[in-house]
Amino acid sequence: MITKRYTTDVVIIGAGIAGLWLHNRLNKMGIHALLLENKAIGNAQTLSSQGIIHGGAKYALNGILSKATQAIGDMPARWQACLKGDGDIDLSQAKVFAQHQLMWSKQQLSSKIVSFFASKALSSRMQTVDNTARPPLFQHAGFKGALYQLDEPVLDIASVIQCLVEPWQDRIIQFASDTDIQWQQDNGAVQSLQIGDDIQIDAQQFVLTAGEGNEALLKSLNIKKPAMQRRPLQMVMCKAKDKAQALPAIYAHSLGSGSKPIATITSHFDKDGNVVWYIGGNIAEQGVGKNFEKITSEATNLLKDIMPWFELPELSWATHSINRAEPKQSALTRPDTAFVETKNNVHIAWPTKLALAPDLADKVIEKLQTHITPGSHEPITDLPTINISEPLWDRAFK
């Protein structure tokens, strides 16, 4: 029996970066939006991400400025404005781990690549780093390669989530993951949704930002297209067994001869303050399905290979398997931009990159604006406390 009936202008389902960002933008604009989450906030891809606000440099390593590179190129400046408190969203309390993601190769680069990096198109996004400005790891005499810094900050995503949740937490509804969602439709348009037996929400527009969960939601709405693809990863983590020998905090892509970084390392801090290296790139893409011993022994060899001058301390290891959820592409490629498609009054969205959350919100808002007449809605007073996911560094090593 329905005991709680709420009204709103927009319902957003899924509180990862996409839903949280959009929820903030809409409420700030005076469009009432309720955000629904069926697990802990940020638990899925968002708190599994490396927190790099890509500007596209990594997609240009093959010497071509692709559509992906151009679409994502504006994102670091959008986020930087938010970090200063001058952007669409106030992220002035978020923690910046590094102002620049680095990129190194252990050998000198070919003159062709060096001139491409110095070309007009790329020189505004990446610069060589002087010996004196290098982080300690790359000041070692044994490092003989090239080091670039990219105009791409790396953020503590847990702190970003905190900034996004706080202003509008009285408009976030959490419920158990096994609760059914049912839709009431009229002529194909959704009028309201029912959560479990007791909550009904009436709204004008509905946005699905549930990441991998969009697939089941689309099925429940009988929407066949857009379809979703999953691109799995097995990420690897390590930290020094002895905190006194903590790994240095680095944020860097390691470049080989191919068009993708061999490895991308970001550094995070567990609750005891120990540095955790979180390793993505080829090892995570090719590591899917490998057992713990195999992938961690490959990761050890990889680290020895890409930084031969650095003596690794004794390490503890963990792995994390996670799917990237995106609109279906041919040959499981990565979509270039944030994706939004509309079916009646339902908008299906995948940012495809954390960095593209501002782009996704722009696209959804553009679609919504012509269809919304902001109404007045009763505040919700009986919400349970918001539950934000525990950071990966504190759950993975258990």
Ligand X SMILES: Cc1cc2nc3c(=O)[nH]c(=O)nc-3n(C[C@H](O)[C@H](O)[C@H](O)COP(=O)(O)OP(=O)(O)OC[C@H]3O[C@@H](n4cnc5c(N)ncnc54)[C@H](O)[C@@H]3O)c2cc1C
389 SS3 class? coil
| Contact between 46 and ligand X per CB under 6 A | yes
| Contact between 322 and ligand X per CB under 6 A | yes
Nearer to ligand X, 45 or 69 (CB): 45
| Contact between 155 and ligand X per CB under 6 A | no
Tell which one of 54, 100, 171, 363 touches ligand X (CB under 6 A).
Answer: 54
The stretch near ligand X (CB under 6 A) out of 9-17, 116-124, 303-311, 334-342 is 9-17
CB of residue 76 to ligand X, shortest distance in Å: 10
Residues 6+ apart with CB under 8 A from 230: 212, 323, 324, 325, 326
The stretch near ligand X (CB under 6 A) out of 34-42, 82-90, 288-296, 333-341 is 34-42
How far, in Å, CA of 234 to CA of 358, rounded? 27
CB of residue 339 to ligand X, shortest distance in Å: 10
Helices and strands in the chain, H and E counts: 11, 20
Tell which one of 23, 31, 34, 51 touches ligand X (CB under 6 A).
Answer: 51
Q: What does the block give as tokens for 381? A: 């007073």
| Contact between 353 and ligand X per CB under 6 A | yes
The stretch near ligand X (CB under 6 A) out of 123-131, 160-168, 207-215, 285-293 is 207-215
| Contact between 217 and ligand X per CB under 6 A | yes
Tell which one of 210, 255, 275, 283 touches ligand X (CB under 6 A).
Answer: 210
Tell which one of 8, 50, 254, 345 touches ligand X (CB under 6 A).
Answer: 50
| Contact between 36 and ligand X per CB under 6 A | yes
CB of residue 391 to ligand X, shortest distance in Å: 13
The stretch near ligand X (CB under 6 A) out of 57-65, 134-142, 333-341, 345-353 is 345-353
| Contact between 318 and ligand X per CB under 6 A | no
How far, in Å, CA of 239 to CA of 393, rounded? 10
CB of residue 140 to ligand X, shortest distance in Å: 26
List the beta bridge partners of residue 253: 103, 264
Q: Which of residues 172-191 bind ligand X (CB under 6 A)?
A: 181
Tell which one of 31, 44, 303, 340 touches ligand X (CB under 6 A).
Answer: 44
**Residue-by-residue DSSP string for 51-76:** -B---SGGGGTTS---HHHHHHTTHH
| Contact between 324 and ligand X per CB under 6 A | yes
The stretch near ligand X (CB under 6 A) out of 4-12, 15-23, 243-251, 339-347 is 15-23
Number of residues lying near ligand X (CB under 6 A): 38
| Contact between 43 and ligand X per CB under 6 A | yes
Q: What does the block give as tokens for 49? A: 């991400």
How far, in Å, CA of 200 to CA of 139, rounded? 60
E-assigned strand segments in the chain: 4-7, 10-13, 33-37, 96-98, 101-105, 126-128, 146-150, 154-155, 172-174, 181-186, 189-195, 199-202, 205-208, 228-240, 252-254, 263-269, 275-280, 315-327, 339-343, 346-350
Nearer to ligand X, 51 or 226 (CB): 51
How far, in Å, CA of 303 to CA of 321, rounded? 20
Residues 6+ apart with CB under 8 A from 225: 341
Residues 6+ apart with CB under 8 A from 297: none
Task: Report the phi/psi class of residue 188: left, alpha or beta, with left for phi > 0 and alpha for psi in -120 to 50.
Answer: left
Site string for ligand X, 218-257 (x = CB under 6 A): ---------------x-x----------------------
Using DSSP bridges, classify how beta strands 275-280 and 228-240 pair: parallel, antiparallel or unpaired: antiparallel
Distance set, CA 365 to CA 265, 358, 359 (Å): 34, 11, 10
Q: Would you tell me which residues interact with ligand X (CB under 6 A)?
A: 13-19, 36-39, 43-46, 48-52, 54, 181, 209-211, 213, 217, 233, 235, 280, 322, 324, 350-355
